[in-house]
Structure 1
Amino acid sequence: MYQDTKNFEISDAVRKFLQKLHMHHINGDWTSGASDETIAVFDPATGLKISEVISGTSEDVDRAVKAARQAFESGPWAQMNGYERGRLIQKLSDRLAECAEEFAELEALDAGKPIVYARAADIPTTVRVYSYHAGAASKISGETLTPTMPGDFHAYTLREPVGVVGVITPWNFPLLLTAMKLAPLLACGCTAVIKPSEVTPLSMLRLMDLIQEVGFPPGVVNVVTGYGDPVGSRIAAHEGIDKVSFTGSGATGRKVLAAAGGNLKRVTLELGGKSPMIVFPDADIDKAIPGLASAILFHQGQVCTAGSRLFVPKSLHDRVVEGIADMAKNISLGHSLDSKTNMGPMASQNQLDRVQRYLEQGKNEGADCVIGGTRPEGNGYFLTPTILTNTRPEMSVVKEEIFGPVLCVQSYSDDDRNDAIRLANDTVFGLAASVWTKDLSTAHKAAKKLRAGNVWINTHNIFDPALPFGGFKQSGWGREQGSEVIRSYTEVKTVCAAL
């Protein structure tokens, strides 16, 4: 069932790229690190090493921050207006579109992402993110104010870049989640020090080639590869960094927040989720079932907004569960480079082990496994799609983020829709939710009551650069994308003149 990379065609450009020892990119140049240690990068579909990167140190971060600070305060970038920055960002978007297949192959190999989805979703969405914020760069402005005090005054605000931004990204959507931070911070005039995940660093390193190629000045974007400690922790605590934007687990997010307190740097946190999906009794079940299945199985459930908790009325429970199970049975599990694959491996051995531990806990606590939960024969970090029924709110599989293809199903009384809302909100998370119904009133009333930063109606996992993204409660601080993100990377200055 599973084949080595050599059995699939990849472009010469990607093959040559993989063969390099990948260095840091600081102040416009590829540079070795303070340490000779390296980190192996694996293809999760085979478990085989495909490349390696330098393991960064605190000294490497210091050099990158110095370069970013210099670029922010002086030189070409500091002198550019929004229109000029936007043109550079658009050039990057266009160049990325031209290299789309190359990046799709890298994401498939590095993150275990089925290449059909990388081609259809990850890369096109990333291109749109850069293009959207290229347009926003020339439209960042303050406002004119009217003071209430007696006298003749002219008052207005300026919206200025926050400064040097530390960017720490996760392994599940390496290229896209980096773009969601990098594109708006560049539009605002900030500079960046980026730490990609040590599990999936390759697409960000390849993107640096394009950033340099299209003409971004040295020091505007810097990349230091390495582990969370020391690289991520140094970025979070560094007094030369004005803001840190982090996407990852709640546990690491708390560490970032604590470290950022040293110089009271601004912080954006996009953390975990345990997103509910509520099927109301009047839902179009034939249309809902494929959407519900996709919500949990897309990218092997390694999505912060994955629909991992399903609430269905008792009258529809068996029909919905059977429908999702049938789709899970027919899923094509295989190597991410195979165009027939629509579900790849978990991103790493650690992640596979984590999901399997949760499944054991769930079974021990009384959950019934309808389908899946097993490792198929062969190499790679694969796990079959899993549906758990007879789950209860107090179970670890229901309370905690698993980050795998595991759906937890609970039922509610058909005539008590408020109970479904209550169950959905019974979580420390609040990143996303979806409701499935034919009734507009039901849909919008439910959307209003759900404590989540993103609510979808009759769909799930819809992302767009125009739509603000972020969570309530322990799912994070701040918003990314849309007009809201500009506030994250700017400071407001009030100017008042006596006339």
Structure 2
Amino acid sequence: MNLTPYQMYINGRYCEAQSGNRFDSLTPSTAQPWASFPDATEVDADIAVTAAHQAFVSPAWAGLTATARGKLLRTLGDLIADHRELLAELESRENGKLIRETRGQMGYLPEFFYYMAGLADKIEGQTLPVDKSDMMAYTLHEPMGVVAAIVPWNSPLYLTAIKMAPALAAGNTLVIKPSEHASASIVALGKLVEQAGFPAGVVNIITGYGPSAGAALTRHPLVRHVAFTGGAATARHVVRSSAENFAHLSLELGGKSPQIVFPDADIDSAVNGIVAGVFAASGQSCVAGSRLLIHDSIYDEVVARVCERASRICIGDPLAEETEMGPMTTLAQLDIADNMVQQAISEGAVLRYGGQRVECNGGWYFQPTLLESDSSSNSLMQEEVFGPVTAAIRFHTEAEALALANDTRYGLAAGIWTRDIARAHRLSKAVRSGIIWVNTYRVVSAMAPIGGFGDSGYGREGGIEAVLSYTEKKTVWVNLSSEPMSDPFVMR
């Protein structure tokens, strides 16, 4: 079989790994290999980080004004818009996400670069009203240096953009390490970076596995910030590695997000939101609304309608326009979904729909699945599946709904379905999640921060905060007095 060969992008050139080793990538819709990539090791990570560091201190990048950086980002956004169809097809081929969704993502992706381009020359310090009349003090925001961006397989370019755009706007340089399961679209981004006019070494892309290439990045002494999206287990390794280089961290991890449906909700809208929240993208989303908390008075109706809609979901080739749910990205993730459903049933959950693998062209498909649980301690109510699987539970009062919503170690997202505006605001304040959607679900914007509480990580991506998180704050003191300094042994 002829595989498409891809290369890494380091210091403005496409190249192989120093070892010459490569690995194959499988397309999840058929479980067949379709492309191959260089298998980077610590040696390659060091080369990429060194290139990024040299670019960071070079006049070609460090000498640019913030406005000039913004223009480069805007040009890159334009190029992504021009190539959105190619990028969408690459992502759908390599991770199984619907072409309808990847097209939508690629169509919106330039907005992240436009927004951050506009912020590049608006990163301002402050003049401080210090309590010393002969002194002036002010603050500056300066770029950190080399940023390591480690990106998972479920939305590679989107999750790269929300790291890359603010990091570059702030004046940093990057080394990006995509998942070994979905590297093609990010490698393709390298060509667009070059066409946009970024100096060599400002953006570098290495491909390979987490324990080798990824781990080497997180502990490299020249890396000043690690932006990681992925699972909590890997994040713990990232945190431990950061003890070696004291790198700043932003961690966007998993979730076990509740969707809370009250009796006064628009049921049609709520059912669509539930389907969008957990069956879209085959449930392979950090913000998947995988816990359904439904008021007892409407519980049977909502569950029945979700099951009926699930039964009509068209499962198949993600590149086909009519498909509504594609495959799981990896065989391992398919096994996890299958095993977790069986585990939940053994603990007393009742299967209402789905729960089976689907035979389709040899790919890794799983049915949209809904189970009922009478206990919040069931493993399916507590553990992230990262698949098209949701568990429903009844509640009777708002207080009970809130307790169930917060009965988790995660805190990434939540959906609240009600026409009662006071209740919506009460719960938005009380639910421990970084993102609250009221009467909608799975909405993003370049202007809106994304991040979680608890085991969902820390730090925020998106919005003005994202740019500032890639800067170091410096305080400058200026002596305005013409008199000699006073006693050198006394601190002013």
TM-score in same-fold range (> 0.5): yes
User: Equivalent residue for 1:202?
Assistant: 184
Report if aligned partners of 2:4, 2:34 keep a CA contact under 8 Å in 1. Answer: no
Distance between the aligned counterparts of 1:461 and 1:294, measured in 2? 7
Residue 448 of structure 2, aligned match among 467, 473, 482: 467
C-alpha deviation, 1:264, in angstroms:
1.1
5 Å matches for 1:227-376? 227-376=209-358
Q: SS at the partner of 2:190?
A: helix
Distance between the aligned counterparts of 1:376 and 1:218, measured in 2? 46
- Please give the per-residue CA displacement for 1:292-328, whole angstroms capped at 9, x wherever unaligned: 1111111000000000001011111110001111111
- Please give the per-residue CA displacement for 1:137-188, whole angstroms capped at 9, x wherever unaligned: 1111111111023x22221110000110011000000110000100100000
Distance between the aligned counterparts of 2:65 and 2:26, measured in 1? 41
User: Equivalent residue for 1:92?
Assistant: 76
What TM-score, normalized to structure 2? Answer: 0.96
Distance between the aligned counterparts of 2:7 and 2:288, measured in 1? 34
User: Equivalent residue for 1:400?
Assistant: 383
Report if aligned partners of 2:56, 2:202 keep a CA contact under 8 Å in 1. Answer: yes
Query: 1:59 is matched by which residue type in structure 2?
Result: V
In the alignment, structure 1 residue 67 sits paired with structure 2 residue 88? no
Query: 1:46 is matched by which residue type in structure 2?
Result: T
Report if aligned partners of 1:239, 1:263 keep a CA contact under 8 Å in 2. Answer: yes
Distance between the aligned counterparts of 2:427 and 2:458, measured in 1? 23
User: Equivalent residue for 1:435?
Assistant: 416
Report if aligned partners of 2:338, 2:357 keep a CA contact under 8 Å in 1. Answer: no
Q: SS at the partner of 1:474?
A: helix
Identity %: 42
Report if aligned partners of 1:44, 1:110 keep a CA contact under 8 Å in 2. Answer: yes
Report if aligned partners of 1:41, 1:52 keep a CA contact under 8 Å in 2. Answer: yes
Q: Report the number of matched residues.
A: 479
Distance between the aligned counterparts of 2:314 and 2:154, measured in 1? 20
User: Equivalent residue for 1:9?
Assistant: none
Q: SS at the partner of 2:228?
A: strand
- Please give the per-residue CA displacement for 1:434-487, whole angstroms capped at 9, x wherever unaligned: 100001000000100000111110011111110011001111111011011122
Residue 421 of structure 1, aligned match among 402, 412, 415: 402
User: Equivalent residue for 1:3?
Assistant: none
Distance between the aligned counterparts of 1:387 and 1:144, measured in 2? 56
Query: 2:40 is matched by which residue type in structure 1?
Result: G
In the alignment, structure 1 residue 217 sits paired with structure 2 residue 210? no
Q: SS at the partner of 1:261?
A: helix
C-alpha deviation, 1:345, in angstroms:
0.3
Q: SS at the partner of 1:444?
A: helix
Distance between the aligned counterparts of 2:422 and 2:213, measured in 1? 49
User: Equivalent residue for 1:136?
Assistant: 119
C-alpha deviation, 1:19, in angstroms:
4.9
- Does 372-381 or 92-101 show the bigger shift? 372-381
User: Equivalent residue for 1:81?
Assistant: 65
C-alpha deviation, 1:286, in angstroms:
2.0
Distance between the aligned counterparts of 1:19 and 1:28, measured in 2? 24
Distance between the aligned counterparts of 2:398 and 2:4, measured in 1? 57
Report if aligned partners of 2:52, 2:173 keep a CA contact under 8 Å in 1. Answer: yes
- Please give the per-residue CA displacement for 1:406-455, whole angstroms capped at 9, x wherever unaligned: 01101011xx2111001100100000111000010000001000001111
Q: SS at the partner of 2:250?
A: strand
Distance between the aligned counterparts of 1:392 and 1:187, measured in 2? 47
RMSD, aligned CA: 1.2
- Does 286-295 or 104-113 show the bigger shift? 286-295
Distance between the aligned counterparts of 1:302 and 1:146, measured in 2? 49
Report if aligned partners of 1:272, 1:431 keep a CA contact under 8 Å in 2. Answer: yes
Q: SS at the partner of 2:432?
A: coil
C-alpha deviation, 1:329, in angstroms:
0.8
Report if aligned partners of 1:195, 1:224 keep a CA contact under 8 Å in 2. Answer: yes
Structure 2, gaps ≥5 residues long: 481-492
Query: 1:343 is matched by which residue type in structure 2?
Result: M
What TM-score, normalized to structure 1? Answer: 0.94
- Please give the per-residue CA displacement for 1:206-226, whole angstroms capped at 9, x wherever unaligned: 010110111110000011100
Report if aligned partners of 1:391, 1:408 keep a CA contact under 8 Å in 2. Answer: no
Structure 1, gaps ≥5 residues long: 1-5, 7-17
Q: SS at the partner of 2:415?
A: strand
Distance 1:427 1:371, change over 3 A: same
Distance between the aligned counterparts of 1:430 and 1:125, measured in 2? 26
Distance between the aligned counterparts of 2:245 and 2:178, measured in 1? 23
Q: SS at the partner of 1:307?
A: coil
Query: 1:314 is matched by which residue type in structure 2?
Result: D
Residue 148 of structure 1, aligned match among 131, 139, 162: 131
In the alignment, structure 1 residue 46 sits paired with structure 2 residue 30? yes
Report if aligned partners of 1:92, 1:214 keep a CA contact under 8 Å in 2. Answer: yes
